[in-house]
Amino acid sequence: MRTPLAWLLLPVVVAGPGGVALAQQTNVLQERDQRTHPVWGPRGMVAAGEPLAAEAGARMLRAGGNAVDAAVATTFALSVSLPHSTGLGGGGFLLLWLPGASPALGRSHLPECRQARGRELPLGRGSAVGVDFREVAPAAARSDLFLDARGTVDRQRATRSLQSTAVPGTVAGLLLAQRCYGRLPLPQVLAPAIQLARRGVPVSRNFSQSLQAGSVLLKADPTSRQLFFPGGVPLQPGQRLLQPQLAATLERIAQGGNAGFYAGPTAEALTGLMAQGGGLITPADLRAYRARPVMPLQISFRGHPVLALPPPSGGLTLLQLLRLVEPQELYSTGLNSAATLHPLAEAMNLAYLQRNNLLGDPGDTPIAAERFLEDDAIQRLRAQINPSRHRSAVELLAKPALMQEGSDTTHVSVADRQGGLVAVTSSINFAYGNGITVPGAGFLLNNQMDDFSAKIGSPNAFGLVQGRANGIAPGRRPLSSMTPTLVFRPDGSPWIATGSPGGSRIITTVLQVLLNRIGVGLNLAAAVAAPRIHSQLLPDRIEWEEGISADTLQLLRERGHALQRAVAMGAAQSVEVIRGGGSYGVNDPRRAWELAQPE
Ligand code: GLY
């Protein structure tokens, strides 16, 4: 649908780092002139990586639920229909903004809702709050967990064993958000996921291919083999993935809430497997797990309030990057030109230098994340960017003064009719996590323990070389790149919810979506579709997607960058509230997930 966005043509105000405000005309392209377009809907929008799960959320909106009900229903449904990306055995982060008073429905007396209320950030005519449901290292985890006798990281154990599993948080996090901020009864919100698990998910070509790609991992586990490889071959397009054990687990959650997962038969199945197979998670670890309500971080980017979550989420690094590049007029030099991409990549390296060396789980005491976003801190960092020459990782790492002291995943974005926004990213880490399905409970286990620094100087599966601040310790949450993000109009009214899978590329994916939308004025679909780059300090190179021109790559080489062509990075799911009514939604074309057959 082609809807001219006349309001985009208004001048915008750009706030400089020193608080100087200057008015300027952005290089706005009219939406109808662009090659790709978002879909429009009059009564809310759900953007998710798989259509049956998106429909589960839309059902909640049609039934009078709000954005929280829809996001929770969709994420539970994704745990059934995209089992390689997310699931009950994983964790993640949720960020919501709702208009009016909260929490909803008189459930505010519950202790977790009272705690959440205390962490709300008032903004415009409503308030925002985050839920950190990242997995937690079990009580028996030690800093040298994955080191062998020679002190080398045992990659197999760090990623493919029961020890690679941290205590799952998805159920506690989604339930906390829904209980405190949703409108519908929990059994109604879980019904679509239960139905999908019982009646079966039609197997698409993509899913069958992903099973083939994961066959070594999955066939090594008897329960996964039985579930996904009946007769020894991967489920084929046209067949159905039936998950009766997962349906029963979801029913226990629908009836018993957290106790349906963290106690009783589900907990016994999980801890029994751990005890048998050398895993660390005990019944006490499950009983102790709590999702954390968190106050979002806020910055202003070109006059727009932008909200994201503090560590262990990747939100702080995203906000640092936005602040770093804000005054650089990146797009006056042209979308994806070398003059634009060079300072962008340098900023990415500096932000990852700080992320990888200084950030970790702050525990229950919120860290002073704001100090990373203060004008002085940002200006000091920005001064390190050489406009004409790449500064190598060796050079940056050799100057610790630079540091102030101090995929598979999936994302859902929802806008409801009242302008409520929810962004939720959840994951079991790699595709199919560690490949191990809990017998009797039917869900795959995460291998997020690999997101900790197993050893200083040793890269994890995403090539991230991280520091002591992210070391393994009992009860800690590993540092993540998951970055659910909300953007508001300058008057505080809700505008965009976005986020992405992509491991360490999540932060830079969200960054480029926002720069393209806000800085260039591309419509949301074009902003998502534009080719992206990624740089994370180490490995010291720019990864680039198809669509960056050969001339640009040559100019980047001349500035000293090493380059690596990447497969498509990230898969942003985004929604946008339209001022005139309704909302836009965009599914990233990089991982469009076809339906196996019309239902
Ligand atoms: N497991 C990848 C991340 O959370 O960043």
Which tens digits make up the pLDDT trace of 421-447? Answer: 999 999 999 899 999 999 999 999 999
Phi and psi (nearest 5°) for 299? Answer: -130, 170
Contact 563, 549 (CB under 8 A): no
Cα(384)–Cα(270) distance, rounded to whole angstroms? 49
Q: Which residues pair with 304 in a beta bridge?
A: 301
Question: How distant, in Å, are the alpha carbons of 312, 343, 452, 482, 542 from that of 538?
Answer: 20, 17, 16, 19, 10
Beta pairing class for 533-534 and 409-415: unpaired
* Nearest CA residue ID for atom 4, ligand 1: 480
CA of 470 to the centre of ligand 1 (A): 13
Cα(181)–Cα(176) distance, rounded to whole angstroms? 8
CA of 140 to the centre of ligand 1 (A): 22
CA of 239 to the centre of ligand 1 (A): 31
Contact 409, 503 (CB under 8 A): yes
For residue 340 and ligand 1, the question of a CB distance below 6 A is answered with no
Please count the other Cβ atoms lying within 10 Å of the Cβ belonging to residue 45.
Answer: 31
Beta pairing class for 121-123 and 240-241: unpaired
Q: State yes or no: is 409 an active-site residue.
A: yes
Cα(293)–Cα(291) distance, rounded to whole angstroms? 7
Torsion of CA 304, 61, 5, 585, to 10 degrees: 80
* Nearest CA residue ID for atom 3, ligand 1: 480
* Nearest CA residue ID for atom 2, ligand 1: 503
Contact 235, 211 (CB under 8 A): yes
pLDDT digits (tens, 9 = 90+) for 375-395: 999 999 999 999 999 999 999
Q: Which of 309, 409, 453, 466 to mutate to test the pocket of ligand 1 (most atoms within 8 A of CB)?
A: 409
pLDDT at position 13, please?
Answer: 23
Cα(303)–Cα(299) distance, rounded to whole angstroms? 9
Least confident among 269-273, 311-315, 539-543, 594-598 = 594-598
Q: How does residue 109 score in pLDDT terms, banded at 50, 70 and 90?
A: confident
Beta pairing class for 409-415 and 421-427: antiparallel
Contact 291, 309 (CB under 8 A): no
Contact 444, 432 (CB under 8 A): yes
Atom of ligand 1 nearest to the CA of 134: 4
Angle at 57 between CA 120 and CA 238, to 5 degrees: 145
For residue 482 and ligand 1, the question of a CB distance below 6 A is answered with yes
Q: Which of 411, 506, 536 to mutate to test the pocket of ligand 1 (most atoms within 8 A of CB)?
A: 506
CA of 9 to the centre of ligand 1 (A): 37
* Nearest CA residue ID for atom 1, ligand 1: 429
DSSP state of 519: I
Residue 162 in tokens: 């029961």
CA of 255 to the centre of ligand 1 (A): 30
Residue 112 in tokens: 């977790």
Torsion of CA 583, 117, 484, 75, to 10 degrees: -80
Of the two residues 2 and 217, the one the predictor is more confident about is: 217
Atom of ligand 1 nearest to the CA of 450: 1
Helix (H, G, I), strand (E, B) or coil at 347: helix
pLDDT digits (tens, 9 = 90+) for 31-61: 677 889 999 999 999 999 999 999 999 999 9
For residue 419 and ligand 1, the question of a CB distance below 6 A is answered with no
Atom of ligand 1 nearest to the CA of 478: 4
pLDDT at position 456, please?
Answer: 86
Q: Is the pLDDT of residue 592 over 80?
A: no
For residue 426 and ligand 1, the question of a CB distance below 6 A is answered with no
Atom of ligand 1 nearest to the CA of 462: 2
For residue 503 and ligand 1, the question of a CB distance below 6 A is answered with yes
Cα(211)–Cα(442) distance, rounded to whole angstroms? 16
For residue 429 and ligand 1, the question of a CB distance below 6 A is answered with yes
pLDDT digits (tens, 9 = 90+) for 492-502: 999 999 999 99
Residues 176-212: b if buried by 16+ CB within 10 A, e if exposed: bbbbbbbbbebebbbbbbbbbbbebbbbbebbbebbe
CA of 454 to the centre of ligand 1 (A): 15
Checking 366-373 for CB contacts under 8 A at 24+ apart, the result is 366/294, 366/295, 366/310, 367/310, 367/311, 368/406, 369/297, 369/310, 369/311, 369/316, 370/297, 371/404, 371/406, 372/316, 372/320, 372/404, 373/297, 373/299, 373/316, 373/319, 373/320, 373/323
Cα(21)–Cα(501) distance, rounded to whole angstroms? 35
Residue 444 in tokens: 């795959």
* Residues in contact with 384: Cβ distance below 8 Å, sequence separation at least 6, in sequence order: 346, 350, 391, 396, 402
CA of 568 to the centre of ligand 1 (A): 17
The share of the chain scoring above pLDDT 90, in percent, equals 81
Q: Which of 445, 481, 507, 509 to mutate to test the pocket of ligand 1 (most atoms within 8 A of CB)?
A: 481
pLDDT at position 28, please?
Answer: 45
pLDDT at position 100, please?
Answer: 86
For residue 448 and ligand 1, the question of a CB distance below 6 A is answered with yes
Averaged pLDDT for residues 223-231:
97
Q: Which of 489, 486, 494 is nearest to 100 (CA)?
A: 494
> DSSP alpha helices (H): ranges in 373-517?
375-382, 393-397, 506-514
pLDDT digits (tens, 9 = 90+) for 117-156: 999 999 999 999 999 999 999 999 999 999 999 999 999 9
Catalytic residue, chosen from 74, 170, 271, 409, is: 409
- pTM exceeds cut of 0.85: yes
CA of 597 to the centre of ligand 1 (A): 32
CA of 365 to the centre of ligand 1 (A): 22
pLDDT at position 363, please?
Answer: 84
Contact 228, 211 (CB under 8 A): yes
Q: Which of 462, 476, 500, 509 to mutate to test the pocket of ligand 1 (most atoms within 8 A of CB)?
A: 462
CA of 503 to the centre of ligand 1 (A): 5
Helix (H, G, I), strand (E, B) or coil at 321: helix
Cα(366)–Cα(368) distance, rounded to whole angstroms? 7
Residue 106 in tokens: 């008189």
For residue 536 and ligand 1, the question of a CB distance below 6 A is answered with no
Q: Which of 389, 422, 425 is nearest to 307 (CA)?
A: 422
pLDDT at position 588, please?
Answer: 94
For residue 450 and ligand 1, the question of a CB distance below 6 A is answered with no
For residue 427 and ligand 1, the question of a CB distance below 6 A is answered with yes
For residue 271 and ligand 1, the question of a CB distance below 6 A is answered with no
